[in-house]
Amino acid sequence: MANPSASGYKPKYFLAAFGSIHHAANPIEGGNYPLLAGYVTSQNVQPGDVILLYCTGGYPSHFREAPGVGIVTDIDAKGNSKIINYWYLPFNQAIPLEILKLNIPELENNTNFGNRGNFLRAISKPSFNAALANTFIDWP
């Protein structure tokens, strides 16, 4: 992937929810997020965008927390759906659901957030920064 910031591209910020349907086939650490037809839409995600990766109550190993971020590398079209590929960067400490709800106002009207839903939603850069205020990347 070419460096998007070198061309002046300003990344967009998103929140992706991983639920029980992702757990086995697409673990959060695996670096890809399927845009399953009927569940989520692409929201115009592009290489260089940043995704806060959240696991719902249906994802057993990271129950209701955001364990890291993904930097989008590319998007593959697979028949009826697309797959967002990303570089997974884990946090030193996962962000619990309560902190996300306090800092991301875009989630206020989403009654299913935190449960089992799978979705991809745009969030603002200030919301992203507020959610990560005391969190650091556990660099490889």
Most confident stretch, 23-32, 57-66, 92-101: 92-101
The pLDDT of 126-131, averaged and rounded, is: 94
Residue of 4, 63, 76 whose CA lies nearest to 33: 76
Q: Is the pLDDT of residue 83 over 80?
A: yes
Give every CB contact of residue 19 below 8 A, 6+ residues apart in sequence. 55, 56, 58, 59, 116, 117, 118
8 A C-beta contact, residue 9 and residue 2: no
Across the beta sheet with 13-18, what order do the strands follow? 32-35, 81-96, 65-78, 50-55, 13-18, 120-123
Residue-wise pLDDT tens digits, 86-120: 999 999 999 998 898 888 887 776 555 555 567 78
Which pair of tokens denotes residue 114? 């935190």
Residue-wise pLDDT tens digits, 45-54: 999 999 999 9
Q: Is the pLDDT of residue 71 over 90?
A: yes
Global confidence as pTM = 0.85
Q: Which domains does the chain have, with CATH numbers?
A: 4-131 (3.10.590.10)
